[in-house]
Structure 1
Amino acid sequence: MWKQRLAITVRAFSTSARVEGKRSREPFDKRFPVTGKHGGPRRKGGSQTMEKFLAVHNVQPAGYIDKKKGRYTNVPEMIPDFVVPDLTGFELKPYVSYKASEIQQTKMTARDLFQATYAAELQKDINEGKVVIKDEEFVRLNTGKDDKR
């Protein structure tokens, strides 16, 4: 029984942080940036004033700092490009009711995908003589014109 008390006492009592000069980082950790959601009134050590003061939104940079040149280099590929379709006259709504009837559909196979995408165009090219079947493969014939496909 005295061994249990000794083990509890040893685990609960530690002076190493004070001896080495470290201070507690509660409620924040210095390795990560502190934002408004970290200093809210529901967090330990936070308040409404701190939340407003820390309401900074860190944005990911669109480049990097070049160590050889010693300056910031912008990379156009890192800038987000949002492709948004034009939805004028679009009648559907983004909400689907739970009362909607469930749709039963079989799994799509590779043959179904081919039939839905390329089959009609390939059949048209075969009928016009642009494509020939040779050794169980489709071979496109050169018509002399540059085909942009």
Structure 2
Amino acid sequence: MQHWKRITQIANHLFSQGELVDAREHYLQALALAQVLFTRWQDADEAVASLVIAHHNLADLHLRLQQLHESADYLCAVHQRLLQASQDVCLPRALRDAALRHSARTYTELLSFIAEHGQYPRTEHLLNRHSACSLQPAHGVH
């Protein structure tokens, strides 16, 4: 976790200085690390939070670059990943529960993005799919 935090702090500093290419490289490193360690971190909430933060940092960077499509893609990717993780019976229960809890934040961020910037193909596809799934009879924990 410390290595991920350090990379993210460096990226945040570069972002604040306007060095967006270098910031993007560090944010991508942080994302890759969060993905690799997702099932290995001892604290499930930290594992999920690092994945969410890494995606949202990249979404913010692309917003600053006026690359709205890419920003939408990062927001959708993390929301979809959390929804999948929350239903993956191969994952530990604590990680599934954390993914479900954090998916509320990713959903809210996605809706805020759409309210401000409009729909994009991936957001529309993800939300329409999510709506269709919510119309089905509920089974298990939601």
TM-score normalised by structure 2 residue count: 0.20
Structure with a larger share of its residues in strand: 1
Highest relative contact order (Cα 8 Å, sep 6+), 1 or 2?
Answer: 2
Structure with a larger share of its residues in helix: 2
TM-score normalised by structure 1 residue count: 0.19
